[in-house]
Chains A and B, each alone.
Chain A
Amino acid sequence: MTPHQSPQFDPLDQYLDKTLSQTDRQRFESRLDQDDALNAEIRLQQRIDRSLRQWYEPKPSNGLLSRALTMTAARRAPKSKNRLFQLRPLAVAAAVAAMVLFGAWLIWPNTAMQSNVNGVINQPKMTLTAYYQQQLDAGFKPGWPCPPDYFKRVTAGRFDHALVMAETPPAGVEPLGVSDCRTISRKTLCMLAYIDKQPAMVFFDQVADDAGQTLDSSPGSSLSLHRAVLGEVVVYELSPWDQPRLIEMFSLPAPESESAR
């Protein structure tokens, strides 16, 4: 047993910590060659250390932040649900009134469509999260259907750059349609979809108009937000899933298609 010393000067600890000078280390190792008890202590300590390193080496932190973000939002959700429950009659009345007004715009003669667009243009911009929540509250219904050929024409016309939408969506993905949504800019197009029966949205706009989008710290933030850039178009996917599933549906057209626009 080594004599007890202040830990800072215990040569055994210093040897284990590799803080001995070269001279002192050589001297200590000479001692080891002659002192069986000291040698046994060192070997035992090294064996202990090997076990500790094996047992306590952590795995990579995959998904840690995602899970934490989900838990953060889940802890907020009950309060917001209670608040929403109390305001429910008012919320329902407001939603009905909004839908009646929106419907009136739609059926207004001649310039109905233009009025609709102008109405959207004149609305203040919302964050992606807030818009998503608004759509959930309103029943999550798109403005109009959007088959792939229509999507290509809309993106070409709106952003001067066409995007292609896969004919067959990925497994579990159910596109519903698109809407005008003034979020990134007044030209933002958003697609509503279900991913494994959970509502999700994709937002499209020009890269040049994107000042950067982040998740709100509001009750909707149990969501994940992913960003991709396809040519000159920025694409944001907002959904309850950790991994993006909608973005992969969209791509740039082949050069031949580009010239045919």
Chain B
Amino acid sequence: MDCAADQSGSIKRCLPREAEAIDFAAQLETSHRVLWVLAAGLAGRRELADDLVQDAVVAALGKLDQFTVDTNFTAWMAQIVRYTAMNRRRSERRRQMVSLEQAPIDSSAPTQRSEYNDDFESFHQNSRLPQDQPYFDDELTAGLNELSDVARACLLLRTVTELPYEQIARLLDIPQGTAMSHVHRSRQFLRQRLGQSNATSAKGKGLDQ
């Protein structure tokens, strides 16, 4: 049958012939999670990951003749995700050349926390979240943004998808040792940043660590 199976069962969805030849739909389904996390790491924002993966799939549909059957589909798609992310960054840089300078993130400044006044302790009293979770989340987000795209992608692929370092290296086309180094340094960096931040917020609010 030329039509790929979909969730509905008896009614089959049909794709272009070249996509059918490599079972594109099934392979995409299998590799989607890894590709999404890769995209989120390279883009730096979860919100952009969906668009990035979709653009990569569109690009892949135009390059099906370049894919060799029985080779690593995820690695091939990862390459397209990387190129798509790179092109997006270039476009964004061109757009931003005339405008905005972002204020540097100052972890000691209370601006992002002005909404969290002395009442937030009671607000979180019955919550299972640690009481400093909002601070923690802010700092973790800021810390992730300071990582390089590749380092962040390595960290997320290791932490979220638990991919072996060898596979992470293949997806990003870097040596395995470099992938391990990125994860190691990223973890260290985030712990240092959050460790200092937690100490500051605990002192300021009288919270226990």
List the interface of chain A (C-beta within 8 A of B): 7-8, 10, 13, 16-17, 40-41, 44-45, 47-49, 51-53, 55-58, 60-61, 64-65, 67-69, 71-72, 75, 212-217, 221, 224-229, 236, 244, 247
Contact = CB atoms under 8 A, between A and B. Distances in A.
B110 to A, nearest CB: 22
B19 to A, nearest CB: 9
A217 B156 CA distance: 36
User: 7 closest A-B pairs (Cβ-Cβ)?
Assistant: A212-B2, A7-B184, A225-B14, A58-B36, A68-B57, A61-B32, A7-B180
A16 B183 CA distance: 11
Contacts of B137: 51
Contacts of B25: 65
Contacts of B130: 47
A247 B54 contact: no
A96 to B, nearest CB: 33
A225 B11 CA distance: 10
A247 B3 CA distance: 15
By DSSP majority rule, is chain A's interface helix, strand, loop, or mixed?
helix
B194 A71 contact: no
Given A48-B191, A58-B33, A212-B3, 7 more contacts: A47-B130, A68-B54, A69-B16, A75-B58, A212-B2, A217-B18, A227-B3
B46 A214 contact: no
Interface string B87-131: 000000000000000000000000000000000000000000010
B40 to A, nearest CB: 5
B15 A227 contact: no
By DSSP majority rule, is chain B's interface helix, strand, loop, or mixed?
helix
B37 interface: yes
B20 interface: yes
Contacts of B155: 52
22 contacts: A7-B183, A44-B191, A49-B159, A51-B137, A52-B155, A58-B32, A58-B33, A58-B49, A60-B32, A61-B28, A61-B29, A61-B53, A64-B53, A65-B24, A65-B57, A68-B61, A71-B58, A75-B58, A217-B18, A226-B3, A226-B14, A227-B14
Contacts of B3: 212-214, 225-227
A41 B191 contact: yes
Contacts of B156: 52, 56
Contact of A52 (B62, B160, B209): B160
Contacts of B11: 226-228, 244, 247
Interface in B142-160: 155-156, 158-160
A67 B160 contact: no
A18 to B, nearest CB: 9
A10 B159 CA distance: 16
A215 to B, nearest CB: 5
Nearest to A43: B209
A56 B54 contact: no
Interface string B170-207: 00000001001101110100110011001000000000
Nearest to A50: B159
B76 interface: no
Nearest to B187: A45
A10 B53 contact: no
A55 B159 CA distance: 11
A64 B57 contact: yes
Contact of B37 (A49, A58, A224, A226): A58
Nearest to B61: A72
Nearest to A235: B11
A52 B40 CA distance: 11
A178 B169 CA distance: 56
B159 A214 contact: no
Contacts of A55: 46
B160 A44 contact: no
Contacts of B184: 7, 10, 13
